[in-house]
Structure 1
């Protein structure tokens, strides 16, 4: 047993798998479970223990990381596995919105679980290399207990507040900002082309100045690529996060830019780009004609 005890990851999608690989590479004993077992089984070859059920996975666990798709999945798994891991710290890392977080916190409290938040800011690459930023919230003593483990997968932890949900709220703001940056870069590229200019000039113009953005350069490079593969940060995932942000802020038109960007990502997903990187949102501005030029 490693110095971190038994660590369990429930949910081995893109981020859950990346966290598993990172922790295994750091010598941590990791047990995993996934609803679709075939997605978890390859991790056994890397050294993970693959469990058949959530309850089996968390038995004797010291720390349980929840990296599931939505609030319903988190609630179901908590309900099924809660009594199998007395004394474990449960770390909620799934983007499930404020209402979902309240529901999960209520379920955890009803089972007497020690639950904290550590929302992931970053994609697969940073998770694999320990470069995530984690937005934490909840009981300070519990967070201190899991701090050494969280430090293995992140370059820094930003404490959002003492209440469960504070991390989620900060994550929704950050993901909205990411959506704005990507959409803005896509619009800039479309405008450059409409005005008869090379898109690369836009990136050159902002480079090194006060308006420069590493993120704009990264997504701009993807927009200039010949093809788009299934991505670290899929467009449909960000669309879900933007909808959760609207739900959390009332969705009443108060944040008009958020509403506009939500519409843009919805159009991009409806056009069939949901599984691609969020950079594919730029296609909305000129449609398929852009890709073929």
Structure 2
């Protein structure tokens, strides 16, 4: 995941690379290293079979968009019932990872973490063929890529580290931003897949194992979690001090302290709608990855560990399956 709810949270990266094609999206400056999703004819699915392993919130939406774009799609999920609704879109539901990836041109994995990704791909090993492009789209952290790259090398796969920015809404509408790193010879196939799931691809590096995409994803998610926890804490503080939270929103309206994400998340609290766009349990996992990565880099973070503790309290209160803004409840006794 992920992990931003709408376009107000999407970022334009100022440190563009020069190893890709210039962007040409609406109202965007041409930026080396970026590639917008094809907006005229759409992705070219001709003859491509894509296996999607992991059909949670993100994987389900990506599999559906691939099928609707015309790709032949096979999907597998450890809990089969979560994948079965995709059959209505023409997706073949596989019983095993190996059956899903058999003769596939591309494999897209969308799992919560590195161990889950590695486990599924090990189970898929019997069906993998050399030369297949493997796009890993989860927020798994750069450390997990060492083992994934080893598995890819052992089976002759072309690995692309491609975590995606966006949560449930952008995933469903095919408006994800893909942070990609991988060899140039993987890009013709990878880009066709990315065109079906995202609005733009930012190519960062030619070495997937270096984790350029996963490292950038942690940086972005650190900011996302800062905003979410900040919104949740501020609303809870307002209520605790006897201030109407809507008066707070009115006070900052229209100024630099009024990002769209604040409005979205504050409204979720005020209406009691915690439908997961970015599940709190996943956010806690990401916060832990962020803190660990910072420690390894010798960077002291204060907000991130405190935010992780807040998310952990909310999870212990039973809010792990709800949207991340349910960290609001961590401000109060259960």
After TM superposition, the score normalised by the length of structure 2 is 0.80
**2:142 alignment counterpart:** 98
Larger mean CA deviation between 40-49 and 180-189 belongs to 40-49
Distance 1:163 1:89 in 2: 14
Residue 3 of structure 1: SS of its match in structure 2? Answer: coil
| 1:236 has 2:276 as partner | no
Distance 1:256 1:228 in 2: 27
**1:88 alignment counterpart:** 132
- Output the aligned Cα RMSD: 2.0
Which deviations, in whole Å up to 9, do the C-alpha atoms of 1:216-255 show, x marking residues without a partner?
A: 11111101113534x1211011000111111222277811
Which deviations, in whole Å up to 9, do the C-alpha atoms of 1:120-148 show, x marking residues without a partner?
A: 11111111101111111122331343212
Q: In the alignment, is the contact (CA less than 8 A) between 1:67 and 1:94 conserved in 2?
A: yes
Distance 1:40 1:102 in 2: 29
**1:291 alignment counterpart:** none
Q: In the alignment, is the contact (CA less than 8 A) between 2:175 and 2:197 conserved in 1?
A: yes
Distance 2:57 2:118 in 1: 20
Which structure dedicates a bigger proportion of its chain to helix? 1
Matches within 5 A, 1:198-209: 198-209=244-255
| 1:107 has 2:141 as partner | no
Distance 1:112 1:87 in 2: 6
Matches within 5 A, 1:43-54: 43-54=86-97
| 1:255 has 2:301 as partner | yes
- Segments of structure 1 that go 5 or more residues without pairing to the other structure are 289-293
| 1:133 has 2:154 as partner | no
**1:33 alignment counterpart:** 76
Deviation at 1:200, TM superposition (A): 1.3
**2:195 alignment counterpart:** 151
Distance 1:117 1:203 in 2: 39
Deviation at 1:31, TM superposition (A): 0.7
How many equivalent pairs are there? 287
Residue 75 of structure 2: SS of its match in structure 1? Answer: strand
Q: In the alignment, is the contact (CA less than 8 A) between 1:133 and 1:158 conserved in 2?
A: yes
Residue 243 of structure 2: SS of its match in structure 1? Answer: coil
- Segments of structure 2 that go 5 or more residues without pairing to the other structure are 1-43
Matches within 5 A, 1:220-235: 220-229=266-275, 231-235=276-280
Deviation at 1:23, TM superposition (A): 1.8
Matches within 5 A, 1:159-174: 159-164=203-208, 165-174=211-220
